[in-house]
Chain A
């Protein structure tokens, strides 16, 4: 029996697929260390969208002509790719959204407004991105439900020992949790959280925006109830994301946005809803963007999700080592084996915005700020951090250039 060796990722040759790297910044090659914010796009995705517009574009679903059928096939074909990408049971469980924020709002409004009330408790985490925090806080307030956040320890990991005390505060109906932290790269232990939440009778809503670009994700293995992600962080275009949800939950939910396509029959007296997933896709969809997302899924599949994960882990280990050489630099978050390629840090005496500006002059793009994580920053006692994040096209020498830039910042502010 043939044994296949694990696939290796060749970041250097993959880079040739990304036209952005042909364009210097401040006269220097671009070292793009901000992929957690948004990834760059390979030619394969850009070509797929252009080709679709040039050969197959029309509005979808209602047209009887050949072109509309081709366009519909491309859009629904992208849905099938998303289904396979997260290993959902059926395409009926995949709703296209504008981004992960819209996916999470869809659940908060569509499920939360009908199912939450006084005595109920919505549980989020302190490390949650504002997109899986603020909608739940708002819907809890509107429905009279309570709201609690699982605290984070000083290493940026969830304090699961607090779950019992949280459960005592009300009937837990929702657990909203990110799979991977956008600020710290922490991979959260979802299995015990899902088990705990289901014991309480709660649904589990997962923000997988920082997970699916970097590691294999299987919704059936995770055992959660909803999972959202966005296209632009995984080599796809902006304006497209997806929500997976259990069919029986989607069936029972109220629509989120209303209008064209999401209806079955409209009369002056009453309107009935289209079948899922169309019930949740009002108006003309981001058709070409869905096609682009499908192409991105193909591209990541070619590279190999396991190979991407290994490549980023090596980079993260390398980065943690090199950053550790810099005096006065404090790295946040867990050790490399429990995080993806995201490294947040503080350089003593230099504000993150100054750090980002100084390394930018060397062509190195990093993000500085609160990363839409204000409760987490408060917990860590920070106003902001500098964050470097890696992807399949990142090279070790780009981390070296970041380190050189940080030495320059230290010297300037010494």
Chain B
């Protein structure tokens, strides 16, 4: 398999073309958004809770295949889990799921959705954030 085939493997393209958890929630408990100014990737995520559990989570966005597919995969991963569990997810947890080799620039594409979701959970449930993100209204990965 060439480098390119492994990057744009079928599952990535499938998530890009048919994103899971895409769209809006009628009455979300919290919303957050973020950009990767380098590529112009944009992601916004809305969450509805049942107690601390993520009852519904949806995203909207535009950007490269890596950013949108990784966010789509993230939606599958987190629905039904608690805010605290998801806030504790490491970047490796998501990158394992994405499962493709990424250069530093493309890593930011892949991690945009996770950052935005953690910001939403912080706003909604006060879960911890990395120090450099505290006080942010919007996430900007640059």
Contact = CB atoms under 8 A, between A and B. Distances in A.
A354 B8 contact: yes
Interface stretch (B25-33, B38-46, B78-86, B112-120): B38-46
Interface string A361-396: 100000011100000010000011000000000000
B96 interface: no
B3 interface: yes
A377 B37 CA distance: 13
Contact of B40 (A354, A369, A413): A369
Contact of A413 (B13, B39, B63): B13
B54 interface: no
Contact of A354 (B2, B38, B62, B65): B65
A43 interface: no
B65 A413 contact: yes
A385 B54 CA distance: 36
Interface in A325-357: 350-354, 357
B106 interface: yes
Nearest to A409: B8
B106 A357 contact: yes
A377 B66 CA distance: 22
B4 A353 contact: no
A383 B3 contact: no
Contacts of A354: 8, 64-66
A98 B90 CA distance: 41
A181 to B, nearest CB: 18
A26 B63 contact: no
Most chain B CB inside 10 Å of its own CB: which residue of A352, A353, A358, A370: A353
B64 A412 contact: no
A358 B5 CA distance: 10
Contacts of B37: 370
Contact of B7 (A350, A351, A357, A369): A357
B64 A353 contact: yes
Nearest to A413: B13
Contacts, number: 47
A368 B4 contact: no
B134 to A, nearest CB: 27
B119 to A, nearest CB: 20
A358 B65 CA distance: 12
B109 interface: yes
A161 B71 CA distance: 45
B8 A358 contact: yes
A361 B140 CA distance: 28
Nearest to B62: A383
B3 A384 contact: no
A384 B8 contact: no
Nearest to A368: B39
Interface in A294-346: none
A384 B42 CA distance: 12
Contact of A26 (B3, B7, B17): B3
Contact of B4 (A358, A369, A383): A358
Contact of A369 (B8, B16, B39): B39
A361 B3 contact: yes
B43 to A, nearest CB: 12
A354 B65 CA distance: 7
B78 to A, nearest CB: 24
Contact of A353 (B3, B16, B39): B39
A383 B42 contact: yes
B13 A384 contact: no
Contacts of B38: 369
Interface of B: 2-4, 7-8, 13, 16-17, 37-42, 62-66, 106, 109
30 contacts: A26-B3, A351-B39, A351-B63, A351-B65, A352-B39, A352-B64, A353-B39, A353-B41, A353-B106, A354-B64, A354-B65, A357-B106, A358-B4, A358-B8, A361-B4, A368-B39, A369-B38, A369-B39, A369-B40, A370-B40, A377-B40, A383-B40, A383-B41, A383-B42, A384-B39, A412-B8, A412-B13, A413-B13, A413-B16, A413-B17
Given A353-B66, A369-B40, A383-B41, 9 more contacts: A350-B65, A351-B39, A353-B63, A354-B64, A357-B4, A357-B7, A358-B8, A370-B40, A413-B17
3 nearest A-B residue pairs (beta carbon) = A383-B40, A351-B64, A353-B64
